[in-house]
A and B are shown apart, each in its own frame.
Chain A
Amino acid sequence: MLKEIAKRRVVITGAGLVTPLGRNCGETFDKAAQGCSGIDYITAFDTAGLPCRIGGQVDDSWLEGHEGAWQRFPSRGLRLLRTAAREAVGSAGLAEIQRRERIGCAIGFHGDNPSVPDLLLLHRHFDGNALDMHRIAAEGTYPATNFLARKPDVAVSLMATSLDCGGPALSVTSACAAGSQAIGEAFRMIRNGSADVMVAGGGDSQLNFVGFIGFVLIKALSSKYREPQKASRPFDRKRNGFVMSEGAGIVVLEDHDHARARGARIMGEVLGYGASADAYRITDTHPKGLGACIAIRAALDDADLAPDDIQYINAHGTSTTQNDLTETLAVKEVFGTSAKQIPLSSNKSMIGHTIGGAGAIEAILTLVGMERSIMLPTINQEFRDPKCDLDYVPNEARLQAHERALSNSFGFGGQNACLCLGRYHG
């Protein structure tokens, strides 16, 4: 019995995206295949005086509003998630599934940051030593829902409530690996029989003053760019930090037999998942990419595949000096002499870094790429870095069939996740 459960195949029956490149999967993929950049000067808040003034914003008119269960939480990150979820559950036909307690949710999200008006309000009631809580309570100026909107776990609650999913609910907060990890853990829940269907993915918006400023202070963002569209340049010698973006990606994962029984359209398969921690430092990746190697190898083992079975890698590729170098080293370590033959590209060169959304967005683009036999490019490849010497699919998309791929996500603080994905064959 256990062995039978372990063999359950997990397929993808729905996907939804909202990114700086497009309002849905098709639009995002098409723009990415043309090598377009979604990066521009930030208009969401005043960036005057900051060394980085660019980001990947999603057009506000593309986002869902705040109806129903979501009404009290007018948070940008939650709106992104809701928009991507609508496309995903629509394409999967989730509503037609009867046993709602067999549908779970796993969402990578980090909660909203306190806004500048929040801070100003609190500051008005601060006497130098403490907050005057009597006055705040008397005036009733601090909305209680603010507290809830800041909580990372609110996303999965809202998702489960609005979609009527009574299965396991999981919040993932592993920074840049959260979207991948949510999909990976959801994949395991189906494989081990805890659920038949999982709504999984992630999203974030850090394009607000408080969210952004932290990344400015730790000097993680690109601050040297001639034009915004050229700033995100993973693996290029002139890379100098990542570009902050907002976006979300949601997939519907489903037990293969369950999907076949209801005649769902199957767009791909999750073959394996690996996770690890660098256990090294908070802001530096392991210099040899040890944690990344562990996650990649674990994903391959889980999928029962050898390195040579992989035909494409969707890189984490952030455009920071450290990540792109250690990711290159890790791929060389795992794939040995074949590393240079495996095309590897970074969607972040076009989309920027959506933090909790990144892993899910990139997994979806990897799946669509396999379906269409297109490998998306890494744009802004102008100055070769001798230490980054793999095939990064430079500047132009490549028409090339591929059946099995990896999608890497390496989070801040050394949290790593790797998904092994496959084109679906009955």
Chain B
Amino acid sequence: MKQTLITEQKVFEELKKAIIETLRSDEAAIKTESSLIKDLGAESLDFLDINYRLEQTFGIKMARHFILEHIEEMFGEGSAIDENGQLTEKAITLLKLRYGDVYGDLSEGVDMDAVPTLITAGSMTQGVLDLLDTLPDKCTQCGNADWKTEDGIRIKCGSCSAFATFTNGDDLSKDWLTAVQQEKKIF
């Protein structure tokens, strides 16, 4: 369900902390539109580090695979990336459906190697919010619908104090792709 306990602002603040701890960036330099690679100098290992910090902070499990990999796996080789290593039109349609304007610059024929540079602080914030929105209606431990948060970061059951559990990032991507495919028959 769409949750309202943790605000977008709070997620962005925590992401900034994770970026500062990992990349030693200047806080003022981190804007929602900042590309982690191009503007903040992140390398591949840094994404693992930042994701790990976000997972610890919010009690979530970030996706280990980018959505393009899931598309290839679910809809066949070549469905997202053509033999020249470029994004297919269908992959771009799906990226835009999933991430909206965050990937506004994308057009057909973009090289897949360019995609990681499109990851911004804003798109990562949205990724965390999407996972938080998988909050179940009721506590999986005691069955009550009484979610609350004390620190604005971790969601707990007001009845039994169990921490909320969320769908893991890879499953969320796959569920979303299945639903979109059923509705729009892209492939």
Contact = CB atoms under 8 A, between A and B. Distances in A.
B43 A284 contact: yes
Interface stretch (B12-20, B77-85, B123-131): B77-85
Interface in A206-228: 217-219, 224
A233 to B, nearest CB: 13
Contacts of A387: 85
B43 A237 contact: no
**Dominant secondary structure of chain A at its interface with chain B:** loop
Contact of A238 (B43, B44, B45, B77): B77
Interface string B42-74: 011100100000000000000010000100010
Give the bracket for the number of chain A residues in contact with chain B. Answer: 10 to 19
A282 B43 CA distance: 9
Contact of B83 (A217, A282, A383): A383
A135 to B, nearest CB: 31
B84 A386 contact: yes
Contact of B44 (A217, A284, A384): A284
A383 B78 CA distance: 11
A217 B77 CA distance: 25
B84 A218 contact: no
Give the bracket for the number of chain B residues in contact with chain A. Answer: 10 to 19
B48 A219 contact: yes
Interface in B2-47: 43-45
Contact of A283 (B44, B69, B73): B44
A386 B43 CA distance: 24
A386 B45 contact: no
Interface in A35-54: 51
Interface string A225-241: 00000000000011000
A215 to B, nearest CB: 12
Contacts of B69: 224
A385 interface: yes
Interface in A374-403: 383-387
Contact of B45 (A51, A237, A283, A384): A283
Given A237-B85, A281-B45, 17 more contacts: A218-B45, A219-B48, A219-B64, A224-B69, A224-B73, A281-B43, A282-B45, A283-B44, A283-B45, A284-B44, A383-B77, A383-B83, A385-B85, A386-B83, A386-B84, A386-B85, A387-B85
